[in-house]
């Protein structure tokens, strides 16, 4: 949909951003409790010989099995949420006027209730497909990931603001700048 492009633009305009995808990678580093729990729940084959998460193996398992995906979310979402809550608290203490938390599963996790406003970055299905193609996922893998989320129409309806991201970065920034106060 373009959340990374939106995040990069915001950061380039000195608006702090924390991305929960980055936090998700942090909580599954070797030695972290979430990684140990994944191994315990899903099996030792989820870890490489060096003790790192085998993302492709885990993704194949959880995106083909909704119950397994829910188990993974129960493991990952609490520590991820704890980390972004700490960051929001720190920004508030620092007097930050505006900041952004990027949460791909915002409405699915009811995290919107903890935030002042929500922005849905959306685009056409054709644009989404074009943007996902460099990831070299099989069509079924792409479909499984999309189906694991609320339909975009539901996210649009639930969001406080919608940014349509089928055009260039200048158009994307013009929309974001109307929503988020800059210095």
Convert the pLDDT of each residue in 77-109 to its tens digit. Answer: 999 999 999 999 999 999 998 999 999 889 989
Q: Name the pTM for this structure.
A: 0.83
Single out the residue of 81, 80, 99 nearest to residue 90, CA to CA. Answer: 99
Per-state percent for the chain, helix, strand, coil, to nearest 5:
60, 10, 30
Report the range of poorest mean pLDDT among 1-10, 47-56, 65-74.
1-10
In 38-178 the beta strands, taken as DSSP E runs, fall at 100-102, 119-122, 161-164
Q: What percent of the chain has pLDDT over 90?
A: 62
What CATH superfamily is the domain 21-95?
A: P-loop containing nucleotide triphosphate hydrolases (3.40.50.300)
Question: What are the b/e assignments for 88-112, b being 16+ CB within 10 Å?
Answer: beebeeeeeebbbbbbeebbbbebb
Average predicted confidence (pLDDT) for the chain: 88
pLDDT in tens, 106-121: 998 999 999 999 999 9
pLDDT of amino acid 130: 72
Q: Say if residue 138 is exposed, middle or buried (CB neighbours under 10 Å; 0-12, 13-18, 19+).
A: exposed
DSSP-derived secondary structure letter, 112:
G
What CATH superfamily is the domain 1-16+98-183?
A: P-loop containing nucleotide triphosphate hydrolases (3.40.50.300)
pLDDT of amino acid 87: 97
Do the domains at 1-16+98-183 and 21-95 have one common CATH topology? yes
pLDDT tops 90 at residue 5: no
pLDDT of amino acid 182: 65
Strand pairing class (119-122; 161-164):
parallel
Domain boundaries, the chain: 1-16+98-183, 21-95
Strand pairing class (100-102; 17-19):
parallel
pLDDT confidence bin for 126, thresholds 50/70/90:
confident
Position with higher pLDDT, 63 vs 175: 175
């Amino acid at each position: 949909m373009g959340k990374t492009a939106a995040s990069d633009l915001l950061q380039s305009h000195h608006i702090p951003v924390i991305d929960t995808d980055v936090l998700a990678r942090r909580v599954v580093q070797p030695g972290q409790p979430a990684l140990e729990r994944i191994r315990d729940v899903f099996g030792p084959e989820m870890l490489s010989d060096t003790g790192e998460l085998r993302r492709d193996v885990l993704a194949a398992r959880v995106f083909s099995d909704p119950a397994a995906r829910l188990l993974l979310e129960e493991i990952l979402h609490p520590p991820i949420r704890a980390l972004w809550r700490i960051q929001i608290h720190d920004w508030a203490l620092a007097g930050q006027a505006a900041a952004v938390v990027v949460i791909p599963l915002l409405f699915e996790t009811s995290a919107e209730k903890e935030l002042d406003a929500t922005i849905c970055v959306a685009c056409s299905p054709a644009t989404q497909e074009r943007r996902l193609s460099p990831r070299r996922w099989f069509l079924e893998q792409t479909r499984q990931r999309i189906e694991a989320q609320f339909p975009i129409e539901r996210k649009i309806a639930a969001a406080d603001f919608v940014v349509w991201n089928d055009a260039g970065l200048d158009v994307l920034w013009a929309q974001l700048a109307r929503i988020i106060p800059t210095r």
